[in-house]
């Protein structure tokens, strides 16, 4: 399974392939990535947060796992913020291209 990071702007996969978007987060401080727009060509199969390192209060890694379901292209939009705050956080737009 291919993994992509924060600097990714385009993901190209084939129908049936799975891929993971790994993003740095500070979940212990309430900051996580929110999925604002799921791509039409892939479905979210799992979301998880894992420790970024040892110790208390360290950063986290938030993972979004997707499965490509049909050929085409669409955009994934995620935003980094505290879910309960009504502010605009950092946004990432990633083009997802799925080939047959």
Whether 7 has a pLDDT exceeding 80, the answer reads yes
Cα separation, 64 vs 49, in Å, equals 9
Question: How confident is the model at residue 54, as a pLDDT?
Answer: 81
Rg of the chain on CA atoms, in Å: 14
Cα separation, 52 vs 8, in Å, equals 19
Question: How confident is the model at residue 88, as a pLDDT?
Answer: 84
Whether 1 has a pLDDT exceeding 90, the answer reads yes
pLDDT in tens, 46-71: 999 998 878 777 789 999 999 999 99
Reduce the DSSP state of residue 28 to 3 states and report it.
helix
Category of 54 on φ-ψ map: left (φ > 0), alpha (ψ -120 to 50) or beta: beta
Question: How confident is the model at residue 58, as a pLDDT?
Answer: 79
- Domains of the chain (ranges, CATH numbers): 2-99 (2.60.40.2020)
Question: How confident is the model at residue 77, as a pLDDT?
Answer: 97
- Other Cβ atoms within 10 Å of 30 Cβ, number: 12
- Whose structure tokens read 């938030």? 62
Query: Model's pTM, two decimal places?
Result: 0.92
| CA contacts within 13 A on the Cβ side of 54 | 0
- pLDDT, mean over the chain: 94
CA dist 31 to 28, 37, 59, 96, Å? 7, 18, 10, 25
């Amino acid at each position: 399974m291919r993994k992509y990071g924060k600097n990714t702007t385009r993901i190209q996969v084939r129908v049936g392939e799975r891929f993971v978007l790994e993003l740095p987060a500070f979940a212990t401080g309430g900051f996580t990535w929110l999925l604002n727009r799921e791509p039409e060509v892939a479905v979210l199969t799992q979301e998880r947060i894992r420790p970024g390192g040892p110790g208390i209060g360290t950063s986290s890694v938030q993972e979004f796992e997707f499965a490509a379901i049909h050929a085409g292209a669409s955009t994934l939009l995620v935003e980094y913020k505290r879910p309960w705050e009504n502010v605009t956080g950092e946004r990432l737009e990633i083009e997802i291209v799925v080939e047959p």
